[in-house]
Amino acid sequence: MSRYEREFGTDWETLGKDEATDRAYAIGVAERLGEYNREELEAIYAEMNSAYHKSMVELAYDEGRNEAKEAAETTSADRDALWADLINGEKTYIDEDDVPTSGRDGLPSALDSSELLDRQSIDSTDAVDRPDFLDR
């Protein structure tokens, strides 16, 4: 029995959009960890009654695959730990080289609050103000 089947089961009769996206995400994670369950993904996809909900299922599946790939590349945790972290936990795996180090508190200078205050002092209505020669 796969991790997905143990966690979610496959004996559902109907799915709401939230449960469908959760399951699609989990199938994406499981696939990156070597457990394929395309029949379940296709059944979830077929259960969705609108193009919007179908696209949400596709996005959730892709997100699960991508996050599992990134987690596997950036940590030495085994597959069971990755599954537990991605499905049950709230861990996010970040490559240490991608962590911002500039600016105040590691924020990029564009997000530094002192610069935001300076930008707010600029009158953004100048471009649409009445020309001075009409103020006579």
Average pLDDT over residues 59-76: 89
Q: Are 29 and 77 in contact (CB under 8 A)?
A: no
Share of the chain above pLDDT 70, in %: 71
**Which element (helix H / strand E) includes 18?**
helix 17-32
Which is nearest to 86 in space by CA: 18, 19, 33? 33
Domain boundaries, the chain: 3-89
Cβ atoms within 10 A of the Cβ of 89, count? 10
Mean of the per-residue pLDDT values of the chain? 79
> Is it the case that residue 95 has pLDDT exceeding 70?
no
Give residue 10's pLDDT.
86
The model's confidence at residue 73, banded by pLDDT at 50, 70 and 90, is confident
Radius of gyration over alpha carbons of the chain, in Å?
Answer: 24
Share of the chain above pLDDT 90, in %: 30
pLDDT tens per residue across span 17-36: 899 999 999 999 999 988 99
